[in-house]
Chain A
Amino acid sequence: MNLESFANMFVAGITLGAIYLLMAIGLTLVFGITKVLNYAQGSFFTWGGYLTWILTTKYVQWGYPVVIPIVMLVAFCAGILFERVIVRPLRRFSGWETTAIIVTLGCALVLDNLALVLFDPLSKTIPNLMEGAFRFGGLSIAKHNAIMIVITIAVLVLLWLFLEKTRVGMGLRAVSQDITGARIVGLPVDRLYGYSFGICTALAALAAILLIPRTLLYPLVGWTTLLKAFVVIVLGGLGNIKGTLIAAFMLGQAEIFITYYVGGMWALPIFLVLLVATLAISPKGLFGRW
């Protein structure tokens, strides 16, 4: 392999890592704040993809500058509704965290099958953010990939600023650090739970907009991404943002090189083997801390 194709693969690995990061940050955020392991996240990814398909391809042909905000906003509201209607009533029961896993899994099946019924099982495509490529000497980067990296970085920086600097963001961190302390100072805990789900689904929808143009859209598309995001957060250490960041880009790179040398279908199995091996040696993940 020459330097040029190595560089190209490296860039592709970063873009993939960025996608996993968006999904994984959403999962980590919701888990850290509400203690819910949200299996429906993959289906929100799928539905984000279908909504994008509807707005860019099927019924209207709007541009991404309009579509991205609409899809993310709809996803945010759907996430809040999901927390309010599905998750919140569970919290009255003891042992509800386990129940919530099963319930979100059930919702995922319902959402997936709804997509199957409404949109049929045939794969769809949605357009790239932008066609063509930037060329730097021998190195060419697809414009879609370049924009994808820029958007991901922008969104993550905004999210970080929101969590660090704003009152609501600090409230979210406070809830994840000490729920009793949060109640004592009178934080609106229920509302903050809702926001965390909203952010999580909005990130999943964004990940779909960025990733699906490179693959295909079908009713179960979210599961692969969700499973890979699970591997990312477990390797990174549950709730550990920095670990998640490193793990996402590591796996992004790994997937590209696995695809190159042994074929794309091996990526997920190798991830899962890696995951099991890591957990056998270091149960808290590579950068673990709970």
Chain B
Amino acid sequence: MLSVQNVSFSYGDVQILRDVSLQVNAQEWVAVFGPNGHGKSTLLKVICGLLKPTSGSVEYLGERIDRLPAGEIVNRGLIYVPEDRHLFPEMTVIENLRMGAYNRNARPNESSNLELVFRLFPKLERLGTRGALNLSGGEARMLAIGRGLMSNPKFLAIDEPSFGLAPSLRKDVFRAIDEIRNRGNTILLVEQSTSIASKFVDRIYVIEDGKIVFEGGRQEALSNDHIMETYLGFGTEDRPV
């Protein structure tokens, strides 16, 4: 469904991504793990069109999208949920969600998508007229994902959804993402902390210093001691099963 081919990206002289390639198949949940500052977020921004790759290409549904404006990519159902949320602070929860449905393909489904968001995150319904500025970290995260769902996604690219959340909340967020996937969506997730996420995902990439250093199924990654210890920070005892 999504195919990133030999993508490199530099900010001025600093090279962030080096020749990155990855595939995501329809209805798969793929995770990119790796330490902070090694290009995970940049990769997602290139995929969703906020940044243009220095070289390489991004194909989505058989079509090159790396030269398209961000709005066109949103229209095709590839939706980015940023780690730093980028909510509209002086708008209410509902207004933020409605902004998610601005693009022309999402508009007809606005009310059914809103129902879905409220079913996944009942708390957002209760917070309806609260200003986005006054949300807790967990609520803001839910709103960011909810706003992404309002854009009628086929493919969600989610950046660190569990960052800064209490462990119980993290599990809720991942369960919600799992349900979104089970409804026929494809998920590309970027995470630094892997313990919960690795229970849900189908395939794993590990990125280090802008390069893909590992690629494989979930079991393969979990049974690879080197990968687990070096990149994911697990010892042999506390490894998730």
Q: B88 to A178, Cβ gap below 8 A? A: yes
How far does the Cβ of A255 sit from chain B's closest Cβ, in whole Å? 31
Residue B130 at the chain A interface, CB threshold 8 Å? no
CB distance from B106 to the nearest CB of A (A): 8
Given contacts A185-B99, A187-B99, 5 further A-B contacts (CB under 8 A): A173-B88, A181-B87, A183-B71, A184-B70, A185-B74
CB distance from A190 to the nearest CB of B (A): 9
6 contacts between A and B (CB under 8 A): A180-B82, A181-B86, A183-B50, A186-B103, A187-B99, A188-B71
A189 to B87 alpha-carbon distance, docked (Å):
16
Interface residue ranges, B against A (CB under 8 Å) = 48, 50, 70-75, 79-80, 82, 85-91, 95, 98-100, 102-103, 147, 151
The answer to whether A183 and B90 touch (CB under 8 A), given A170-B98, A174-B99, is no
Q: Is the CB of A184 within 8 A of B86?
A: yes
Interface of A is mostly: helix
B104: nearest chain-A partner, CB-CB: A186
**A residues whose Cβ falls under 8 Å from a Cβ of B:** 167, 170-171, 173-174, 177-178, 180-189
Taken together as a complex, chains A and B put the C-alpha atoms of A185 and B70 apart, in Å, by 9
**A56 nearest CB across to chain B (Å):** 41
Q: Are B82 and A184 in contact (CB under 8 A)?
A: yes
Report B-chain residues with C-beta under 8 Å of the C-beta of A184.
48, 50, 70, 74, 79-80, 82, 86
Minimum CB–CB distance from B219 to chain A (whole Å) comes to 34
Across-interface contacts of B98 in A (CB, < 8 A): 167, 170
Q: Which residues of B are found within 8 Å of A170, using beta-carbon distances?
A: 91, 95, 98-99
Judge whether A185 and B91 touch: CB under 8 Å. Answer: no
A178 lies within 8 A of B102 (CB)? no
Whether the Cβ atoms of A173 and B90 lie closer than 8 Å is yes
A180 touches B50 (CB 8 A): yes
Q: Are A185 and B89 in contact (CB under 8 A)?
A: no
Query: Contact: A186 with B75, CB < 8 Å?
Result: yes
Instruction: Tell me if B147 and A185 are in contact (CB < 8 A).
Output: yes
Return A59 CB to nearest CB of chain B, in Å: 43
Select which of A171, A178, A183, A187 is within 8 A of B87 by beta carbon.
Answer: A178
- Cα–Cα distance between A180 and B87 once the two chains are bound (Å): 9
**Cα–Cα distance between A84 and B112 once the two chains are bound (Å):** 36
The interface residues of chain A lying within 8 Å CB-to-CB of B87 are 178, 181
Instruction: Give the Cβ gap from A63 to chain B, nearest Cβ, in Å.
Output: 40
- Docked-complex contact A177 and B102, CB < 8 angstroms: no
Q: Which residues of A sit under 8 angstroms from B74, Cβ to Cβ?
A: 184-186
Q: Which one of A173, A187, A188 contacts B91 once the chains associate, using CB atoms below 8 Å?
A: A173
A177 to B85, CA, bound (A): 13
In the complex, what residues of B have CB within 8 A of residue A182's CB? 99
B98 nearest in chain A by CB position: A170
How far apart sit A185 and B80, CA to CA, in the bound complex (Å)?
Answer: 8
The contact of B102 among A173, A180, A187, by CB within 8 Å, is A187
A181 and B96 alpha carbons, distance in the complex (Å): 10
Residues in A whose Cβ lies below 8 Å from that of B103: 185-186
* A181 contact set on B, CB distance < 8 A: 82, 85-88
In whole angstroms, how far apart are the Cα atoms of A178 and B86 in the complex?
6
**Quick one: closest B residue to A187, CB to CB?**
B102
CB distance from A182 to the nearest CB of B (A): 8
- Docked pose: A178 CA to B89 CA in angstroms: 8
Instruction: Please name all residues of chain A whose beta carbon is closer than 8 Å to the beta carbon of B73 when the two chains form the complex.
Output: 186
